[in-house]
């Protein structure tokens, strides 16, 4: 637009014009007086001047004639113009000069872009004024997230699932299974979090849909999916004793696992035992002879007769090891039977059966001969054994001592190292007199049958009088071979 500067006296510009006319095709910002000498400085954008460099200028009158000098840089400007304000660029167009002072009529500035008031608008590369792009749309403030994240696959069927909205609240939210049926879940009182309320199925896909409204009042969708670990990852676990069993006062409770738990302490938290009356006891991890890991519960002292026991192992969907999850929750409710304890003193050559502390039977017996002949492999182990099982007819083998598949009757197993209380008609003459067996406790047919019929799983058999102690080396259920202090040292907390 034209920039007009009027002289104070004389004439400038074309003859007879009476004005100093300057024209710039580009935007400009205004005029400023030179406070040092009362002259006028003009500044603006000088496209094409000095390759687009910023220019500074002033009005000079060394001979009484007011003229305009364009300065090429800021340093020269300071030297020649004193306190002329520094601005973004200068365009000075000189149409003429004359004598006398100059006064400038103030032009109306070109409006600056929003946010750029007081600065020059740079020219576009083609010489046209630059334009401002429209502002980008503002996104809704509500943010939806999930744990595990939406799209997660192979998650444990019992894994907690939550959906959370930041800077907003949940309007509606539904999770549906493969059959389209909704899955149970609850929304928090502040409506910012939805929590899954049930276990999921193995090998299933789930879809989450809903909406949330942000603090800005704008609504956003909630959508995502999850899928669970396949059915081939489900591992069967068991608990013993089982439902409705009646067991002896030394019976340990064992939860057997189909895969060794990687985090045993974490898995143990899913297993609980309650009894009536309450009895002091503790859980410990034991690797049993069949290779399975068991979580064994042993009491400090024997169970009181008649104790009611409830075991709960909430293992469905619980990760036991990478790629292995509990197939089901398992429980057991059983009872401790009468108190029967067997006192088996190898030096006395007999077997004493007590119930509630009273002797109800005494049988002549013959124990292992190892201490007499110096063979530790034939020593009946001292310590508290438990009745593990019994068979009316069985075959016994010990190839190292020259026999295999020898039929025996009324066999009650008391350890997993080959120790039984059983009938042996070949040693009847030695029973009550001398120890001659390979480690078992031999009884006569009549005595063996009578004891067999009274024995139940978990009855304690306390062997004394021999040189070798029962230990983990004798296999499987050796829980009572440890003192209570030793048992506590290996228990889970």
Fold agreement between 143-229 and 243-336: yes
| 424 in Cβ contact with 440 (< 8 Å) | yes
| 92 in Cβ contact with 42 (< 8 Å) | yes
| 435 in Cβ contact with 427 (< 8 Å) | no
C-alpha 59/C-alpha 208 separation (Å) is 75
Whose tokens are 């004394």? That residue is 464
Beta strand 330-336 pairing with 246-247:
parallel
Per-residue model confidence as pLDDT tens digits over 214-244 = 999 999 999 999 999 999 999 999 999 999 9
Per-residue pLDDT for 447 more than 80?
Answer: yes
| 389 in Cβ contact with 420 (< 8 Å) | no
Per-residue pLDDT for 256 more than 80?
Answer: yes
Q: What is the mean pLDDT of residues 205-220?
A: 98
Per-residue model confidence as pLDDT tens digits over 31-48 = 444 434 444 444 444 444
Residue ranges of the alpha helices (H) in 96-244? Answer: none
Domain covering 243-336, topology: Immunoglobulin-like (2.60.40)
What's the confidence (pLDDT) of residue 352? 98
What's the confidence (pLDDT) of residue 130? 57
Answer yes or no: pTM beyond 0.95.
no
What's the confidence (pLDDT) of residue 126? 56
Beta strand 2-7 pairing with 319-321:
unpaired
Q: What is the mean pLDDT of residues 253-262?
A: 97
- Which of these ranges, 126-135, 268-277, 413-422, 456-465, has the smallest mean pLDDT? 126-135
Beta strand 293-299 pairing with 281-287:
antiparallel
Per-residue pLDDT for 109 more than 60?
Answer: no
Q: Give the contacts of 156 (CB within 8 A, at least 6 positions apart).
A: 228, 229, 317, 318, 319, 325
Structure tokens at 278: 């309450």
| 160 in Cβ contact with 137 (< 8 Å) | no
Identify the bridge partners of residue 389 per DSSP, sorted by sequence position: 413
C-alpha 32/C-alpha 29 separation (Å) is 10
Per-residue pLDDT for 99 more than 80?
Answer: no
| pLDDT category of residue 476 using cuts at 50, 70 and 90 | confident
What's the confidence (pLDDT) of residue 272? 98
What's the confidence (pLDDT) of residue 373? 96
As annotated, the active-site residues are: 422, 440
- Give the SS3 label for residue 439: coil
C-alpha 200/C-alpha 206 separation (Å) is 9
Beta strand 324-326 pairing with 234-235:
parallel
Strand runs labelled E in 117-250: 143-147, 162-166, 168-176, 185-187, 193-196, 205-214, 219-227, 234-235, 238-240, 246-247
What's the confidence (pLDDT) of residue 134? 77
What's the confidence (pLDDT) of residue 132? 66
| 212 in Cβ contact with 144 (< 8 Å) | yes
* Whole-number percent of the chain with pLDDT over 90: 69
Q: For the chain, what percentages of helix, strand and coil (3-state, to nearest 5) are there?
A: 10, 40, 50
What's the confidence (pLDDT) of residue 135? 82
Instruction: Compute the half-sphere exposure of residue 350: CA atoms within 13 Å on the CB side of its CA.
Output: 9
Q: What is the mean pLDDT of residues 432-447?
A: 97
Q: What is the mean pLDDT of residues 341-361?
A: 98
| pLDDT category of residue 19 using cuts at 50, 70 and 90 | very low
Structure tokens at 149: 């994240």
C-alpha 93/C-alpha 153 separation (Å) is 73
Residue ranges of the alpha helices (H) in 378-444? Answer: none
> Can you give the residue ranges of every domain in the chain?
2-104, 143-229, 243-336, 340-482
Pick the residue with more confidence: 151 or 95?
A: 151
C-alpha 311/C-alpha 254 separation (Å) is 10
What's the confidence (pLDDT) of residue 136? 87
Pick the residue with more confidence: 96 or 192?
A: 192
* Whole-number percent of the chain with pLDDT over 70: 73
Per-residue pLDDT for 360 more than 80?
Answer: yes
Per-residue pLDDT for 321 more than 50?
Answer: yes
Q: What is the mean pLDDT of residues 70-82?
A: 41
Q: List the end-to-end C-alpha distance of the chain, in Å, as a whole number.
A: 87
Average pLDDT score over the chain: 82
CA-wise closest residue to 299 among 38, 96, 482, 31: 482
Per-residue pLDDT for 139 more than 80?
Answer: yes
Structure tokens at 190: 């502040």
What's the confidence (pLDDT) of residue 133? 72
Pick the residue with more confidence: 424 or 63?
A: 424
C-alpha 235/C-alpha 258 separation (Å) is 6
C-alpha 107/C-alpha 2 separation (Å) is 9
> Which CATH architecture best describes the domain 340-482?
Beta Barrel (2.40)
- Give the SS3 label for residue 334: strand
What's the confidence (pLDDT) of residue 203? 98
Q: What is the mean pLDDT of residues 286-311?
A: 96
| pLDDT category of residue 374 using cuts at 50, 70 and 90 | very high
Per-residue pLDDT for 98 more than 60?
Answer: no
> Which CATH architecture best describes the domain 143-229?
Sandwich (2.60)
Residue ranges of the alpha helices (H) in 360-434? Answer: 370-373
């Amino acid at each position: 637009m034209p920039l007009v500067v009027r002289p104070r006296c004389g004439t400038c510009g074309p003859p007879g014009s009476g004005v100093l006319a300057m024209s710039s095709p580009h935007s400009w910002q205004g005029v400023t007086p030179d406070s040092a000498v009362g002259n006028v400085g003009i500044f603006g954008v000088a496209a094409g001047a000095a390759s687009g460099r910023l220019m500074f200028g002033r009005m000079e009158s060394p001979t009484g004639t007011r003229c305009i000098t364009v300065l090429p840089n800021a340093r020269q400007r300071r030297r020649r113009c004193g306190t002329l304000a520094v601005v973004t660029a200068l365009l000075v167009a000189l149409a003429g000069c004359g004598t006398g002072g100059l006064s400038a009529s103030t032009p109306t500035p070109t409006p600056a872009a929003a946010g750029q008031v007081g600065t020059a608008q740079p020219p576009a590369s083609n010489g046209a004024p630059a334009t401002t792009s429209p502002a980008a749309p503002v996104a809704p403030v509500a943010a939806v997230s999930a744990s595990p994240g939406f799209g997660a696959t192979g998650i444990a069927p019992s894994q907690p699932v939550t959906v959370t909205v930041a800077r907003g609240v949940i309007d509606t939210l539904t999770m549906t299974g493969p059959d389209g049926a909704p899955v149970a879940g609850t929304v928090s009182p502040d409506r910012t979090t939805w929590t899954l309320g049930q276990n999921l199925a193995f090998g299933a896909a789930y879809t989450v849909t809903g909406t949330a409204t942000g603090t800005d009042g704008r609504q956003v969708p909630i959508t995502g999916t999850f899928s669970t670990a396949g059915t081939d990852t489900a591992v069967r676990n068991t608990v013993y004793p089982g439902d409705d069993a009646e067991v002896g006062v030394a019976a340990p409770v064992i939860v057997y696992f189909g895969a060794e738990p990687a985090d045993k302490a974490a898995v143990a938290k899913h297993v609980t035992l309650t009894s009536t009356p309450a009895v002091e006891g503790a859980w410990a991890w034991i690797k049993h002879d069949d290779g399975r890991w068991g979580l064994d519960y042993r009491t400090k002292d024997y169970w009181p007769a008649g104790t009611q026991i409830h075991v709960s192992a909430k293992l469905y969907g619980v990760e036991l090891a990478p790629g292995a999850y509990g197939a089901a929750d398992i429980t057991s409710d059983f009872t401790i039977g009468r108190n029967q304890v067997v006192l088996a003193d190898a030096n006395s050559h007999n077997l004493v059966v007590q119930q509630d502390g009273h002797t109800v039977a005494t049988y002549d017996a013959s124990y292992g001969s190892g201490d007499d002949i110096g063979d530790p492999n034939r020593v009946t182990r001292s310590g508290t054994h438990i009745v593990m099982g019994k068979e009316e007819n069985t075959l016994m083998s010990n190839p190292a001592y020259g026999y295999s598949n020898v039929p025996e009757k009324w066999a009650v197993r008391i350890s997993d190292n080959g120790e039984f209380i059983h009938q042996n008609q070949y040693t009847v003459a030695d029973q009550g007199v001398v120890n001659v067996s390979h480690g078992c406790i031999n009884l006569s047919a009549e005595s063996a049958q009578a004891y067999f019929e009274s024995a139940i799983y978990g009855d304690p058999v306390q062997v004394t009088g021999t040189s070798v102690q029962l230990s983990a080396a004798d296999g499987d259920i050796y829980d009572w071979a440890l003192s209570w202090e030793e048992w506590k040292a290996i228990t889970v907390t």
